[in-house]
Chains A and B, each alone.
Chain A
Amino acid sequence: MFFNSLKFAVFLPIVFIFYWFFSNKSKKNQNLILILASYYFYSCWDWRFLFLLIFSTFLDYYTAIKIEENEKKSIRKFWLWLSISINLGLLAVFKYYDFFAVSATEFISGFGFHVEPVLLKLILPVGISFYTFHGLSYIIDVYYKRIKTEKNFVDYSLFVSYFPLLVAGPIERATHLLPQLKVKREFDFEKAKEGIYQIVWGLVKKVVIADTCALYANEIFDNYTTMNSMSLILGAVYFAFQIYGDFSGYSDIALGTSKLFGIDLLKNFDYPYFSRDIAEFWRRWHISLSSWFRDYVYIPLGGSKGSKLFQLRNVMVIFLLSGFWHGANWTFIVWGLLNAVYFIPLLLLNKNRNNMGEFRLSFNLNSLKIISNIAFTFAITCLAWIFFRANTIHQAVDYIYRIFTNHIFSFQYLHIGRSVEKLIVFLVIFSIIEWNNRNKIEPISGKYSWIKLALAITAILTLGIFSDYKNFIYFQF
């Protein structure tokens, strides 16, 4: 059940009605309705994996209680590592086993031995990377006594399986979400209205921006050997907008949907393409994942304490893990590595926290510097996205090589029956809208909201792509 499907448009109002009208407004009933809805939502993808989700939930629920019950450090550690091992083990089997098997046999083949890899060819359970990380954050927080265990299984299950965030995040924290689930939610009209605006804007990003960009980006990447420099550059830019529209659009719909139930989720995007350097980009892109790695990997490794060498190691570890989290492919690992390479100079020069605050543009040299920094950050981000989008590292390298060696900058006509530059104006308009509203969650609220809402709905209906239905990219992770 996709957020941009008719099925979800029916599902959501039904859950909303049951939640607010038939739950007697008790917290227990509210949570019960949400967990039933969440399990139904998940079973629409593949009901068999529902058992895996429930198993994972129960594992963390039980081990957390065991950790809290025991004061002895070794026993607490045992339960912590048992939970981490099983969680990561499941992730490894379903997501990474085939990748490791193929990589290992390729490595062995390098020494002249011929080995056939034993592959499992398992279907990746949707959302496994997300709900595994939910569970891990909880168990680690309990271990470090940052939170108390949740004894109510329904409430805990809801924290793991809450349908707006179940399949593609944001990756929630027990410290943020669980307290909200422990109290009865009262209906808040303003919050619900915000939710509607966010859902509508999320749909614009998904069906208008991402899916239109996908048409062009797919055509260019799939036929990159026949493309000239201009098309290849635009292909990377279009993919940058596709993945942003797709993932931030999904997050907006998730956050907006959750607001309808009176629950706030963590912000996942903060206009990342207006970042002035790569450190700022990572504070604005997939925020819930970046902060997860910061809190549960980077800081425990020592963070920015210790020698520069230690700091470099820590940065490399989190960027490589971040790349690997996205998928079992060397292209994601190189993507992570490339971002680390971008980040390291800022770290070495102590400039990684330079661009923290808000900024304004005016007619002066400083503004020009800001604009060129934003453009440069966007350009290197696009370069990294080429690895993310390509099927193999060779393809990505070849793609980049062709950008710099083809030297033809005319606008090509694509097989999809459109000229390659047709989307530029469209994306410029979208960027201007985002720029003018970068201090807000979405651009619809505020003055003339009815007119803006009507325009957004018209854009979805007329410019949205419904004929060639496209999945959300992050569902595969």
Chain B
Amino acid sequence: MKQFILYIGKILVLILLIMISLDVFYTYVFCHTSGRNKTELVLTTEDKNYDLVILGSSRAENHFVPSIFNSRGIKTFNYAMSGSKLEETALTLKLMLAKNFKIKNLILDVDLNLNSNSHSDNIRATFLPYFPISPIIREHYKNIPEYFSYRYIPFYRYAVNEAIGYREVGASIKSKKMNTFDLGGFYPLQNRGKNLYYDMSKFSPKKNKGYEEIRKLCKENNINFIPISLPMCQNTMKDFGNYFQEMKKIYPEIHHYENAVVDDKYFSSCGHMNVEGAKKLSTLVLNDFFEK
């Protein structure tokens, strides 16, 4: 039995050594590459100056064309991330501020993301490689159930999050960059929709911790905060326009652009406009907020 206990002990040491080595390797790869996602971009740059930063989910990523703002001398970058919820958006802003980003205006997509206070596993995962080295990230996630495992078990965060798994490490080593960076963070969609519809019957807007955190951060850092609701396809607006009216009751400061573009030809899917729709909306927002 003694022999077996010794043997198990050796295996446990082996497992621990493998976990530590893998953790060090993965963390090194993620911390020494940039351009795989917008979280990396934020964490690997400092002292940026922007007239306008766009944050939110894919609806913001697909809907705001920075080149339109840039062409009018408004230095803009679209940091919105597909799948991101307001919890991750709040953390992105915290990191930007910690990295000494100077931001004059911030447009935040706020609409369907008020439906819940949930988080996105995939976007949260993009912050996890920096968990041991960033006190801001640790502080942001101090109340999540996995905090202890992420903090103290080597490699755990990589093993349970496929978004930062071996495929992502491989892509990072190969330095595969996101091509949206060349477009200022904008991800254009091409399809033209017809008779689009999205069932929002189970949606209801609620107070959101992440949203309130972003609003507070903007106030504290003298950032002009522009929360905006974005267009949805017309059939859905007919049936579920009430959702946006409900939003007004909770957060009256939100600027309502859900009906700003209505024709389905401007949409790729019900919640995502194509590049033509994005240009139309960006021009509208530019005129309303920056050229009056």
Interface residues of A (CB under 8 A from B): 20, 187, 189, 192-193, 196, 450, 453-454, 457-458, 461-468
Contact A453-B14, Cβ < 8 Å, known A461-B155, A466-B159, A466-B160: yes
Q: How far is the CA of A462 from the CA of B160 in the complex (A)?
A: 10
Q: How far is the CA of A189 from the CA of B7 in the complex (A)?
A: 9
Is B4's CB under 8 angstroms from A189's CB? Answer: yes
Is A457's CB under 8 angstroms from B155's CB? Answer: no
Interface residues of B (CB under 8 A from A): 1, 3-4, 7-8, 11, 14-15, 18-19, 22, 121, 155, 158-162, 165-166
Q: How far is the CA of A463 from the CA of B167 in the complex (A)?
A: 9
**5 tightest A-B CB contacts, nearest first:** A467-B162, A466-B160, A462-B166, A189-B3, A187-B1
Shortest Cβ distance from B16 into chain A, in angstroms?
10
Which chain A positions have C-beta within 8 A of B155? 461
Shortest Cβ distance from B61 into chain A, in angstroms?
17
Which chain B positions have C-beta within 8 A of A463? 166
Q: How far is the CA of A258 from the CA of B102 in the complex (A)?
A: 62
Which chain B positions have C-beta within 8 A of A457? 14-15, 18
Is A467's CB under 8 angstroms from B18's CB? Answer: no
Which chain A positions have C-beta within 8 A of B8? 196
Which chain B positions have C-beta within 8 A of A467? 121, 160-162, 165
Which chain B positions have C-beta within 8 A of A466? 159-160
Choose among A454, A461, A468 the residue that contacts B159 (Cβ–Cβ < 8 A).
A461
Report 28 cross-chain contacts, Cβ distance below 8 Å, ordered by A residue.
Answer: A187-B1, A187-B4, A189-B3, A189-B4, A189-B7, A192-B4, A193-B7, A196-B7, A196-B11, A450-B14, A453-B14, A454-B14, A454-B18, A457-B14, A458-B18, A458-B22, A461-B19, A461-B22, A461-B155, A461-B159, A462-B22, A462-B159, A462-B165, A462-B166, A466-B159, A467-B121, A467-B161, A467-B162
Which chain A positions have C-beta within 8 A of B162? 465, 467-468
Which chain A positions have C-beta within 8 A of B18? 454, 457-458, 461
Which chain A positions have C-beta within 8 A of B14? 450, 453-454, 457
Consensus secondary structure, chain B interface: helix
Shortest Cβ distance from A50 into chain B, in angstroms?
29
Which chain B positions have C-beta within 8 A of A462? 22, 158-159, 165-166
Is B1's CB under 8 angstroms from A453's CB? Answer: no
Which chain B positions have C-beta within 8 A of A465? 162
Shortest Cβ distance from A186 into chain B, in angstroms?
10
Q: How far is the CA of A454 from the CA of B3 in the complex (A)?
A: 19
Q: How far is the CA of A359 from the CA of B155 in the complex (A)?
A: 43
Q: How far is the CA of A20 from the CA of B4 in the complex (A)?
A: 12
Which chain B positions have C-beta within 8 A of A454? 14, 18
Q: How far is the CA of A196 from the CA of B6 in the complex (A)?
A: 13
Q: How far is the CA of A468 from the CA of B22 in the complex (A)?
A: 21
Q: How far is the CA of A196 from the CA of B162 in the complex (A)?
A: 27
Contact A193-B4, Cβ < 8 Å, known A458-B22, A462-B165, A467-B161: yes
Shortest Cβ distance from B128 into chain A, in angstroms?
12
Shortest Cβ distance from A2 into chain B, in angstroms?
15
Choose among B4, B11, B121, B159 the residue that contacts A464 (Cβ–Cβ < 8 A).
B159
- Closest A residue to B164 by CB, please name it: A467
Which chain B positions have C-beta within 8 A of A193? 4, 7
Which of A454, A462, A465 has the most B CB atoms < 10 Å from its CB? A462
Shortest Cβ distance from B29 into chain A, in angstroms?
12
Shortest Cβ distance from A470 into chain B, in angstroms?
13
Q: How far is the CA of A463 from the CA of B158 in the complex (A)?
A: 10
Shortest Cβ distance from A411 into chain B, in angstroms?
17
Shortest Cβ distance from A461 into chain B, in angstroms?
6
- Closest B residue to A6 by CB, please name it: B149
Q: How far is the CA of A453 from the CA of B216 in the complex (A)?
A: 52
Shortest Cβ distance from A125 into chain B, in angstroms?
30
Q: How far is the CA of A133 from the CA of B83 in the complex (A)?
A: 48
Which chain A positions have C-beta within 8 A of B158? 462
Which chain A positions have C-beta within 8 A of B161? 467
Q: How far is the CA of A20 from the CA of B3 in the complex (A)?
A: 14
Q: How far is the CA of A278 from the CA of B159 in the complex (A)?
A: 39
- Closest B residue to A455 by CB, please name it: B18
Shortest Cβ distance from B272 into chain A, in angstroms?
16
Q: How far is the CA of A435 from the CA of B15 in the complex (A)?
A: 27
Shortest Cβ distance from A450 into chain B, in angstroms?
8
Which chain A positions have C-beta within 8 A of B1? 20, 187, 189
Which chain A positions have C-beta within 8 A of B160? 466-467
